[in-house]
Amino acid sequence: MSYDLKLRIWRGDATGGELKDFVVPAEEGQVVLDAVHRAQASLANDLAVRWNCKAGKCGSCSAEVNGRPRLMCMTRLSIFPKDEPVTITPLRTFPVIKDLVTDVSFNYDKARQVPAFTPAADQPRAPFTMFQPDVERSQEFRKCIECWLCQNTCHVVRDHDDNKPRFAGPRFFIRYAELDMHPNDSVDRKRMVQETQGLGFCNITKCCTEVCPEQIKITDNGIIPMKERVVDVKFDPLLRLIGRRKQQAPPSP
């Protein structure tokens, strides 16, 4: 059943912008991205929006729909009342480039800081012998499609730009966790994630987990275990006694 859908889409650039109203025909089974495409093709050819797969697999079409961070391609129009406008705004945590497109380079900078998977030098090269239960924990984190919704929603950086240099964000905490839990990785990332990547800033409010379109248990399975592992190495009473390393306070939020 086709109906007239009211859309309010934020249009503008780094210098400012505003919500613009569009009315487009909507069909049964459509998602928000269909409606945005319809507006683009017929009413605003230069409307900027990122998208690729339209199947929830690439993580490109992230935006805030009625204030909630979502993938537009996986958000059915049927979840909204037909007589109310659907409001679409760009991710708030990142600087706007144009319309719904934001500058997400923050995330790619953080990705470059992660030391790559490093198998022990004295181990034979792949193929490795690894069993399913040994790889399963890391596999959960490798489902991440890098949509940056968790990074966008995390309150540590959402309204505090100044935290960005010291904070890698949930996506990268599970990347560190993934490598830390990899059966064949030989690098100790626990101190790094605490001391330079800002794991201590996280006070486990689980906002990241709630918005993850891949349903990765970011907080419970990634961040909390990493915090525990950090405590194990940093606050080990035995190590303290022999004074192998001076303990540092975690950075305060």
Partner 1 sequence: MPNEEAYEHHDYDVVIIGAGGAGLRAAIAAHDAGARTALICRSLLGKAHTVMAEGGIAAALGNVWPEDNWQVHFRDTMRGGKLLNNWRMAELHAKEAPDRVYELEQWGALFDRTAAGKISQRDFGGHRFARLAHVGDRTGLEMIRALQQRAVSLGTDVFMELTITDLLKDGDRVAGAFGYWRESGRFVVFRAPAVVLATGGIGKSWKVTSNSWECTGDGHALALRAGATLLNMEFVQFHPTGMVWPLSVRGLLVTESVRGDGGVLLNSEDRRFMFDYIPEFFKAETADNIEEADRWYDDKTNRRPPELLPRDEVARAINSEIKAGRGSPHGGVFLDIASRRSPEFIRRRLPSMYHQFKELADVDITKEVMEIGPTCHYMMGGVEVEPDSQCSVVPGLYAAGEVAGGMHGANRLGGNSLSDLIVFGKRAGEYAAAYACGLGGTRPRISESDLASAAQGALAPFRPGRADENPYTLHQELQDTMQDLVGIIRVEAELKEALERISNLQARCQNVAVEGNRQYNPGWHLALDLRNMLVVSQAVAIAALERQESRGGHTRDDYPMTDPYWGGLNIVLQLEQGTGRAEGSQELVVRRQPLPQPPPALAELLEEAH
Residue closer to partner 1, measured from CB, 116 or 238: 116
Q: Least distance from C-beta 98 to partner 1, angstroms? A: 4
Residue closer to partner 1, measured from CB, 118 or 248: 118
Decide: is 101 part of the binding site for partner 1 (CB under 8 A). Answer: yes
* Residues 128-147, interacting with partner 1 (CB under 8 A): 128-132, 135, 138-139, 142-143, 145-146
Q: Which of 22, 34, 90, 218 binds partner 1 (CB under 8 A)?
A: 34
Q: Which stretch binds partner 1 (CB under 8 A): 104-112, 194-202, 220-228, 244-252?
A: 104-112
Find, among 77, 132, 95, 76, the residue nearest to 14 by Cα. Answer: 95
Does residue 127 have a cis peptide bond before it, meaning omega lies within 30 degrees of 0?
A: yes
Torsion angle (degrees, nearest 10) of CA 138, 141, 145, 148 = -140
Decide: is 212 part of the binding site for partner 1 (CB under 8 A). Answer: no
Which residue type occupies 153? T
> At 113, which helix (H) or strand (E)?
helix 105-113
Which two three-digit tokens encode residue 111? 């990705």
Decide: is 10 part of the binding site for partner 1 (CB under 8 A). Answer: no
Q: Which stretch binds partner 1 (CB under 8 A): 29-37, 86-94, 158-166, 234-242?
A: 29-37
- Please return the burial class of 251, using the count of CB atoms within 10 Å of its CB with bins 0-12, 13-18 and 19+: middle
User: What is d(CA 139, CA 78) in angstroms, rounded to the nearest whole number?
Assistant: 32
Decide: is 55 part of the binding site for partner 1 (CB under 8 A). Answer: yes
Q: What are phi and psi of 156, to 5 degrees?
A: -60, -35
- Return residues touching partner 1 (CB under 8 A): 13, 27-31, 34, 40-42, 44-60, 74, 76, 97-99, 101, 104, 108, 111-112, 114-117, 119, 125-132, 135, 138-139, 142-143, 145-146, 179, 182
